[in-house]
Chain A
Amino acid sequence: MRVRRLAAWTALPLAVTLGLAACGSGGDGGSGSSDPNAAVSIQIGEPQHLVPTNTTETSGSQVLAGLFSPLVDYDAQNKPYEVAAESVTSPDNKVWTIKLKDGFTFHNGEKVTSEDYINAWNYGAYAPNGQGGAYFFEKIAGYQDLQGEKPKAQTMSGLKKVDDLTFTVTLSEPYIDFKTMLGYNAFFPLPDAAFSAPGVLKDSYEQAPIGQGPFKMKGTWQHDSKIDVERYDAYPGEKPKVKGVEFRVYQQLSAAYADVLGDNLDVLPTIPTESLSNAPTDLGDRYQTSPMSSFQFLAFPTFDKAYSNPDVRKAISMAIDRDEITKSVFKGSQDPARSFVSPVLPGYRENTAGAAGQFNPTEAKKLYQAAGGPSKIVISYNGDGGHKDWVDATANQLKANLGVEVVGSAEPKFADLLTKVEKKQPVGVFRMGWVMDYPTMEDYLGPLYSTNGSSNYYGYSNPEFDRLVKEGSAAKTQDEAIAKYQQAEDILAKDMPVIPLRFGENVFGHSSKVKNVEMDLFQRVNLVKIEAAS
């Protein structure tokens, strides 16, 4: 499944540290009234796709967040609450009944019905459509029939219409977090107007997607340039405070940063790394941070026997001073990680890695030598993602604290790194990142550490762990599920299959022309909260 939005990070520009003097243009944060007739501009990269089931990167997701309204969204505790859904219920976590709120219409006037959801999901799951978000539907009964080159069926047997505003979803096995999952954009509905025939999407749909959200398209998608949306007045939910939004495409974050400084762009969701040290003075209180779900770690391929002893991995972990690296390399824009799941999740506990997460060079060296760790450690990373600085810093710390040779080794792209890992070529330790799709512990434990996890490239496998995660997702109540997940996480602390390094934050900036800029856990600007300062 999904290491997803970190892909956007690989677009970080060449790190030209110019060391420019501070600009010193202070802003006037949240004061003054707002102008409901103004439009605001937000930086995005060129989206790859704008079909909900094919959109898996941040830029597309940001645009869709304006055009569509999700079934559920997440509250301050990151628990789901209904938005376009009236209720999402299940007696057994297997058969889910979704009731839609009345009054939602698509931007072309069509009323939103349960069929619009069923059609959209079937389209997304049907393998020949090649949709990037298809895996979101794999828990639904009948998903397998839509796979392969010549699928047996065009529709999933688990989706049943009850009436115009109600439908049921039968899963192949109980899944407690299904409701949480529904917040993802793959679960948006598609209007009849999107299809030229049942199950066949019009080519033109993607150029001007019709949704049921707070904003509608203004014109079409202007590739490499911008996407304009304007307020949809018939939207029954929370009304946006601005008239429209211009999503402006930038290839380099540094260009967007210059535009924010010049008040030429309103919101920059990610401050480029090379500007991190200047940004607080450049932007004043318009430089902001908020929690985000990204998780950076070092992984040990199991085919490399040099690291097969857990004590070796623990010793390496103990020899890394995370606080120092987040401070000096990331200027506090990321937080040290000592657990295996992100702090934004319900069920997160601090320091689950225990002693292995604490910096202790003397103990680390003793443990490393006792466990017979290798005399040379290689840390592989992708050279296009701005990782060199922290990898070098980590290598230096390990060299000093363990007394062995440590080198960083760059592969051109993440894809090249993965190819090497898959071919079991010696890569040493390699870096990985993860951003969640929806806020549950299972979205970390399943894909990253389960035997069949989609991003478990390193091959970690522990039957006990798999069993606990499975029991957790089949649990009756959330509390029960979280208890199981936490037991599973405790196993990770013993086995140490990966070394947690850092949790990310949204580090964003905005112009003096907007206020109330909020960002969610998925690196998206909250489009109904943002206001234009007047």
Chain B
Amino acid sequence: MFRYILRRLLQMVLAFFGTTLIVYALMFAGQGDPIQALAGERPVTAAQRAYLTEKYHLDATGVGGFFYRYFDYVRSLLQGDLGQSLTGRQIGDILQAAWPVTLKLALIALAVAILVGVTAGVVAGIRRASIFDNSTLVLTLLVLGIPTIVLAPLAQYFLGVKWQLFPPTAGSQPTFYALLLPGIVLGSLSLATALRLTRTSVAENLRADYVRTARSKGLVKRRIVTVHVLRNSLIPVITFLGVELGNLMSGAIITEGVFNIPGVGFNLFRGIRTEDGPLVVGIVSVLVVVYLVSNLVVDVLYAVLDPRIRYE
């Protein structure tokens, strides 16, 4: 197991540099005129253009320029310096401020997905074709069908503005309560998928041979479900949730925008809009690490859940 983890960690280093290279190349290729993008519709003075061009080596173009800028970036990255955004802020500082709140939001969303999704999935799986099963089926279909861009403003308007159950936006130092609504909105999509996955998996496992054996041995139903079926049914769900954690942390652009949470998605959106290459690459680099780590955790969890899976 130890050797396996070590090997995976070494692979991660390669994967990390590979992805940053690709992301850097994409940002480089897609870059129009970041200085003008920063200024919006205001004309840029020659002095300011010269200043920013020199500071960010924007005059280094072409293939040679690309590698010059990429290695410059990697060199400072290895020294723990993520560089400066085009507005002159340290990207390290931006990320430091943005990660905790995004992490909190992602964990709330994940908790909602697990608590509600897995529980309801198990119940629906056991009572297949019941009213509960059918109504969750319709509900999840509905949730899966409504994009966040509609769901988030609707939830904000009704729960936040009209009935005033939650604060309409969360802000930068939100209380747990203020993050609850955005967390639920963000988690609802994963919730629906987790519910469906659990339901199918449980329903399938209930028909498995070992369940029949357990039942004929006279085991109580509660024990069959919680110990035997649930444990075996969770493997696809864990896979899904592990990947989802990465998604939740990067993909909250819409939710963070609607509820004004200055997290990672919020900064990523701004970086893309203003063609702020260093900022986008910095955020994506960290996201890559998050994905790699959560994938490793998922793989290790497999072994915990299913003793037949062994790593060498």
Binding site for B on A (CB under 8 A): 1-8, 10-11, 13-14, 16, 18, 20, 23, 46, 48-49, 56-57, 127-132, 134-135, 147, 149, 222-226, 248-252, 254-256, 258-259, 261-262, 264, 384, 412-416, 418-419, 432-433, 447, 454-455
Nearest Cβ in chain A — how far from B130, in angstroms?
35
Residues of A within 8 A of B162 (CB): 23
A127 to B42, Cβ gap below 8 A?
no
Question: In this complex, what residue of A is CB-closest to B51?
Answer: A130
Determine the main DSSP class of A at the interface with B: loop
Instruction: Give A392 to B19 CA distance when docked, in angstroms.
Output: 41
Nearest Cβ in chain B — how far from A417, in angstroms?
9
Interface residues on chain B, number (Cβ under 8 Å): 53
B40 to A264, Cβ gap below 8 A?
no
Nearest Cβ in chain A — how far from B82, in angstroms?
15
Residues of A within 8 A of B89 (CB): 223
Q: Mark B170-201, 1 if CB is under 8 A from A, else 0.
A: 01110000000000000000000000000000
Interface centre among A249, A415, A418, A419 (most CB of B within 10 A): A415
Instruction: Give A103 to B172 CA distance when docked, in angstroms.
Output: 38
Residues of B within 8 A of A455 (CB): 43
Instruction: Give A384 to B94 CA distance when docked, in angstroms.
Output: 24
Assess whether B203 is interfacial by the CB under 8 Å rule. no
B97 to A223, Cβ gap below 8 A?
yes
Assess whether B150 is interfacial by the CB under 8 Å rule. yes
Other than the given A11-B273, A249-B262, 5 more pairs (CB < 8 A) read: A20-B157, A226-B172, A255-B259, A415-B33, A415-B37
Contact of B32 among A49, A129, A131, A415 (CB under 8 A): A415
Contact of B260 among A1, A250, A412, A415 (CB under 8 A): A250
Instruction: Give A392 to B62 CA distance when docked, in angstroms.
Output: 38
Residues of A within 8 A of B52 (CB): 130
Assess whether B167 is interfacial by the CB under 8 Å rule. yes
- With A18-B154, A130-B51 given, is the CB distance from A4 to B42 under 8 Å? yes
Contact of B50 among A10, A11, A46, A127 (CB under 8 A): A127
Contact of A48 among B43, B87, B94, B150 (CB under 8 A): B87
B257 to A252, Cβ gap below 8 A?
yes
Contact of A10 among B41, B97, B98 (CB under 8 A): B41
- With A130-B51, A132-B39, A224-B262 given, is the CB distance from A258 to B87 under 8 Å? no
Question: In this complex, what residue of A is CB-closest to B156?
Answer: A258
Instruction: Give A132 to B173 CA distance when docked, in angstroms.
Output: 32
20 A-B residue pairs with CB within 8 Å:
A2-B42, A3-B40, A6-B40, A7-B40, A11-B273, A16-B149, A18-B150, A49-B87, A57-B42, A127-B47, A149-B50, A222-B172, A249-B172, A252-B257, A255-B156, A258-B156, A258-B168, A262-B164, A262-B167, A415-B32
